Structure 1
Amino acid sequence: MRFSRLATDEEHAARGAAARVSALNGAPDGATPPRSAATTAAAAVAAAAAAALPPAAGACACAARAPTAATRVERRTSGEDASETVRSEPPRKLNMLQLVMITFFSVSGGPFGLESIVGTAGPRVSLIGLLVVPWVWALPQALMTAELATAIPEMGGYVVWVHRAFGEALGFQVGVWKAVESLLDLALYPVLLVSYAEAFLHVQMDALTRWTVSAGIIATVCVLNVLGAEMVGDYATVFGVVVLLPFAILVLLGAPSISASALLADPPAPPPGEEAEPIEWGVFFAILLWNTSGFDSAGTCAAEVAEPARSYLPAMVVTLALTLGMYLLPVAVGVSVTAAADGGFGAWRTGHFVEVGRLVGGPWLGGWIAAAGAVSAFALLTSLLCTSSRALAALAELGMAPAALGRLHPTYGTPHVAVLANGALTSCLVLLDFEVIAEMAMCLYCLAMSVELLALVRLRAAEPLLARPYRIPVSDTLGIRLFVAPPVALCLALVANSGPVPAALGVGVVGATGVVHACWSRRCGLASAGSSLRRWRDRGAYVAVQLAGAVGARAAELDAEAESLVASGGREDAAAR
């Protein structure tokens, strides 16, 4: 079995730095002697470090490509054998609006499913949670994605980040955790969509009919994804209008009804003669975190974004603002209208916004919100299949999954095999219990997110000279650690409070992933220690060349200043004479 690996950014950046050092000396790459001792030393270090790297493997992976770029050079090694093959790569066509809508439907898709926190904890606690939690949970995810996706704009996102920070073993683990979590997540939305259809049509489907309808929905979504991320972005934009518009109307019509006393109300009172039940904080935070998760999924499409350096930060900020607005305003209107209508919040359960719409605007608005819920479920399924399939393809490109999963469609440039594999596996899970799926998916998501945040810290330390078009404005030492501490703590707390069934299944997935990685590594002839040494050798050479380039540039500036001083001094002597 042959192990494939894409040429790393360090290799190309090192050779580029060596070329820049030579250019400072007024010569082609390493050809003529430099002008000073400093630039001579810099060129020598650059040449030595570049020589320590493996043979060139092609153009820099993170360099800007034209939208129609169609090739990528991949190095394949098997023992001492080496060869280079040219592969197609996806065109960069996604604009910022499309990226915003794909991210929005990977994170939120609207306030559907958020109603339970009001029924559990009451309006006051719910609104405080919606105001506070996103800033310590969603914001770090969004800014992490903006920094890493612009620094490493490759297909696969978090798979590539963790692989680059911690190596193949942990990269494989996180890739599989996220793949399983995505499959579980994907299985939720056909179930939701069928449930909306049953409620709308007033029918009750048997298990076989539900599975058949779900499989048809999944097949439709697979076709859209094979046609390209641009197609997914276009449909997500249309779906976004359909979902956002009824809630905008709800807020406009219901704003005069907003009441401070309703917003500050306590949890629902128990029936007479019964004791008040304590707030189920585990359920409360699980729902709240679940509805503000998924920003890292946007990083998997970085290879298909037209201008990642300029698009990602605005897209993450707009998505976060849109998500918070879609949560806070409808909840504020909803609790005020509900308080005026029946004085309680015990009826706030999943789907209650349909009743809120009916109270505010009549049956037409309630029906529109119900239809928007179905559209949102379809859009969530479409966007998540898009992002998760690219992570699966990245595992294949890094040699950690069957190579077929990394194949790109010859016409559309999409990882069509990964898309179809994801769709087929999802169709096998749609009949599982909804709550178990959701809890297990969140457990795996939190484990993977913890490692992704630690990868952000690790890359700041391991690759300080990596070009970062956007850099989170904190220091590389204490600042970045404090930045990731709150979301990591929330992740670990949620995993620790998982139910016994999701926890057992999560442990099983983690253990099985380790066994699979060991078997796959042995089959592919990988030597972890050797791979680690090669990785550190390459990074050391990369840092050395970058330092040499900086020294060479400064030396050239000093040479130019010296020549300028000599020339100006000569002119002054001539004028005096």
Structure 2
Amino acid sequence: MVSGGPYGIEDILGGAGYLKALAILIFLPFVWSFPTALMIGELASAIPDEGGFYVWVRRALGPFWGYQEAWLSLTASIFDMAIYPTIFVLYLSKLFPAWTAGPRGTLWELALIALCCLWNLRGAPAVGEGSIALFVALLAPFAVLVGAAVWHGWHLHVNSAWTSVPSGGEGLSTAILVALWNYMGWDNASTVAKEVDNPQRNYPRAMLLSAGVVALSYVVPIAAVGFAGMAIAQFTTGSWTDAATTLAGPWLGIAIVLGGTITGLGMFNALMMSYARVPMVMAEDGLLPSALARRNSKGVPWVALLVCATAWALALQFSFERLISIDLMLYGASLILEFIALVVLRFREPNLARPFRAGSLAMAIAIGVMPTALIAYAAFSARDERMGHMPALLFGFLIALAGPVFYRISRSVWSGRPLQKELQPASSGD
């Protein structure tokens, strides 16, 4: 639920050049991905409840902050989830430009959302198995691309493009923001913990292993096309198609395009499964309408699924870069709450069984420092972004500020009935 392969990282290369792009992609996992994976590994193994990050923050900091965690995550999802249909249509337009021109592009995006709704209604196992198959399918063309790039650079003795740099200085900041976005989302899988076999054992291992695999899936293709001497000029979202066509011919370009559509489909499908569980658990807690807790025979919260899908469809009008800026700000705030929850639970529940620990107490505190600094940088970098006539920072701040207001409304409107879940600590052990 973090990576759709190398699709979406083109703006990193176009904005920073080869050497800086590789440095960013190699460095960020150590200060962004791995600290987050350690935090999630501990919390998911200790509290493997449906609702994931919402439940962790609620348990550590109380219902108010749990609600804010859910609010920030769900509002961030509105912008995050609009990105994947955008990528789907962008790559589809490479093959069939007439199909995606004008309003037709929006129809394709809506069709993707509808398809993923139907897929999700079949249950988490169907989504999980399908996601694995889609990930393999989208990476296969890149394996060929890497091979072709290495052969091209080795046998044709082309000049490498390592030292080429883009014109202008604004691209580096964009490159860092896009890299942060491509490396975020590790906590999304936590919301379906009860639908995973042995989450105490599997979550920590999956988090740490995936962080390394994702980094390799980004670094290797960029290093390969740099070795082949591909120019960075006009390298932007969708440019893998042009690189593949140049290195191996139109057939590989078509394969890359198909992989790009698979990325949009696969990521949207998997994240839909994750996000829909949050309003379901909130409804069970008496903070949202009880209808959102309704499940079908497969255990899928189908009402929450449809409500979320409608909200995501409404954000399809925004551009890729603008979506990333708002997404990072809101998601970043929710991530900071998760790091705080990690530390608070060490104090409040020292005897909570933790099959996996993110090191000592000092380590648990330290791993949150760099992600927090990067989130602050992302917010600062978005200072010139605008949402319509409003500065993006102000827009994000107003969304976050609405969280406490909606919490009061939720408590007064839907909390007349007792909670279906008691917020009692789990059985303790080491």
TM-score clears 0.5:
yes
2:96 to 194, 197, 201: 201
Alignment-derived partner of residue 405 in structure 1: 292
Q: Deviations over 1:226-278 (max 9, x none)?
A: 1101000111111011111111122233234279983641523x5xxxxxx33
Cα 1:324/1:525, change in 2 over 3 Å:
closer
Q: Give the one of 190, 196, 200 matched to 2:85.
A: 190
Using a 3 Å threshold, how does the CA distance of structure 1 residues 135 and 261 change in structure 2: closer, same or farther? Answer: farther
Match for residue 488 of structure 1? 372
Shift of 1:428: 2.3
Paired residues, number: 417
- Are 2:343 and 1:448 aligned? no
Aligned-residue RMSD, C-alpha: 2.4
Secondary structure of the equivalent of 1:338? coil
Structure 1's 496 and 113: CA in aligned 2 closer, same or farther, altered over 3 A?
same
Partner of 1:223 in structure 2? 118
Note the C-alpha offset of 1:489: 1.3
Residues 460 and 220 of structure 1, relative CA distance in 2, 3 Å threshold = same
1:378 aligns with 2:265: yes
**1:304 corresponds to which residue?**
195
Alpha-carbon distance in structure 2 between the residues aligned to 1:192 and 1:125: 24
Specify the SS of the correspondent of 1:486: helix
Deviation at 1:204, TM superposition (A): 5.5
Q: Which residue of 1 aligns with 2:242?
A: 355
Provide, for residues 425-476 of structure 1, a one-character-per-residue CA deviation record: whole Å limited to 9, x for no partner. Answer: 222222334432222112111111111111111111111111111111x212
Under a length normalisation based on structure 1, what TM-score does the superposition of the two structures give?
Answer: 0.68
Task: Work out the CA distance in 2 between the residues paired with 1:213 and 1:494.
Answer: 31
Match of 1:504 among 386, 389, 394: 394
SS in 2 for 1:497: helix
> Are residue 326 (structure 1) and residue 217 (structure 2) matched?
yes
Q: Secondary structure at the match of 1:137?
A: helix
Counterpart CA distance in 1 for 2:313 and 2:414 is: 30
Q: Structure 2 matches for 1:209-358, cutoff 5 A?
A: 209-256=104-151, 257=153, 262=160, 264-268=162-166, 270=167, 277-339=168-230, 344-358=231-245
Deviations 1:481-512 (A, max 9, x none): 11211111111221233235321221111121
TM-score (normalizing by structure 2): 0.90
Cα distance in 2 between the residues matched to 1:141 and 1:255: 33
1:475 match:
360
Structure-2 separation of matches of 1:199 and 1:255 = 25
Secondary structure at 2:125 match in 1: helix
Deviation for aligned residue 1:524: 4.5
What is the correspondence of 1:40-55 to structure 2 with a 5 Å cutoff? none
Higher relative contact order (CA 8 A, sep 6+): 2
Matching residue's letter, 1:267: V
Contact kept in structure 2, 1:107 and 1:293, CA below 8 Å = yes
Rg larger in structure: 1
Could you tell me whether the CA contact under 8 Å between 2:5 and 2:139 is conserved in 1? yes
**Equivalent pair of 2:328/2:375 in contact (CA under 8 Å):** no
Question: Quick one: percent identity of the two aligned structures?
Answer: 30
Contact 2:289-2:414 at 8 Å conserved across structures:
no
